[in-house]
Structures are given as structure tokens and as C-alpha cells.
Amino acid sequence: MRIRNILLSLLLLFSTVLPLSASRQAGKNFSGTVLKVIDGDSLIVSRGRGRQEIRLYGVDAPEFDQPGSFACKKWMREHVAGQHVSVLGVNYDRYGRLVAVVRIDGRAVNGLLVEQGLVWVYDRYCHKSICRDWKSAEKQAKSQGRNLWHNLHPIPPWVWRHRKPYHHK
């Protein structure tokens, strides 16, 4: 019983201290190399001697079992993996990932994915001024039938996830 109480105390301590330190770092910029593409909107970037898992801000890529997922991840591997990037942290998500705008040569990867028609602008979470540009790029990709938009009514990932008996992200 005593060990259980100690473990609960430690859990409480870490659950309150870690989010505070994470939120202080969220707005910091850093540069690094993309070490791994996890999926269409998540990657791992070197940060100093460590690594940082990144969730791309303001966009949502198809889920791994959803049409378009392979094309999106392939584009990320071909254009982003191994590249030197600059990261502008926005906040942390509930999984502890840094939600960020990731730039290569001054261009936001988030927006490039939208332009290619590989991701949706995630209106629920995209509130910065850049989101207007991304929304415009999404409309253009849609009107030109690029990638996701070759289908007249592709299912957004946030709808796809809730149709499944379990969640992937």
C-alpha cells in the first residue's frame, strides 16, 4: 500500500510539473534535422543532443488506414526526411508532442502539404493568420482535384477516426 501511495504521489508530481515546463518551451524556435517521418502530419526532429516529436500545426493528414495516407507519407519522406528544418512551436498536444509550423527554406511544410492536396486544414485548431492562406490553398487544390480532392467528397480524418471502434492518434 505504501509503494502504491508513493507511485501515486510521483504520478501526481509529474502530471503537474511536466505540462508546466512543456508550455514554457512551446513558443521557442529551434532548428534541427528531420530524423523520421512518422506519418503525414507527425515527425521527429533533432533538437540539440535530443529529439523532439512534432505534430504539424493546423493540418490533419489521412489516417494510416484511410485513402490518401500512403501518398501523404510518401511525399513527407521524399521532401522532408533528412532535411534541415526550422520549427516554430505553437503548443503541446495531449500526447506531449510539440505542435508546430515546420519550415524548409522558409516555406511551411504544413502549407506545402495543403497546396499538394495531401492534408486538410484542421479548422478546429487552425487559428493563426497563416491559416487563411492555407484555407485558400486548400480551395485551390480542391478545385484542381489534387490528390485527396480527386474524390468529390473525401472523408476528413477527424470524421474517419470517429467512425472507427478505436482511435489511432
Model pLDDT for residues 141-162, shown as the tens digit of each residue: 999 999 999 988 899 999 999 8
Residue bearing the bigger pLDDT, 25 or 42: 42
Dihedral sign (CA 153, 158, 159, 165): positive
- Judge whether residue 83 has pLDDT over 70: yes
Residue 63 designated active-site: yes
Give the angle 16-22-28 at the CA atoms, nearest 5°. 160
Catalytic residue among 47, 53, 63, 115: 63
Catalytic residue among 55, 103, 115, 138: 55
Nearest CA to 59 among 16, 18, 14, 119? 119
Q: Round to the nearest angstrom and report the end-to-end CA distance of the chain.
A: 34
Q: Tell which CATH classification among 1.10.3470.10, 2.40.50.90, 3.20.20.140, 1.20.1250.20 matches the domain 25-163.
A: 2.40.50.90
- Judge whether residue 88 has pLDDT over 50: yes
Residue 77 designated active-site: no
Global pTM reads 0.81
Indicate the pLDDT class of residue 24, thresholds 50, 70 and 90.
very low
- 89-133 per-position pLDDT tens digit: 999 999 999 999 999 999 999 999 999 999 999 999 999 999 999
At 134, the amino acid letter reads W
Query: Residue 55's beta-bridge partner residues?
Result: 42, 99
Residue 146 designated active-site: no
Catalytic residue among 2, 49, 78, 97: 97
Indicate the pLDDT class of residue 17, thresholds 50, 70 and 90.
very low
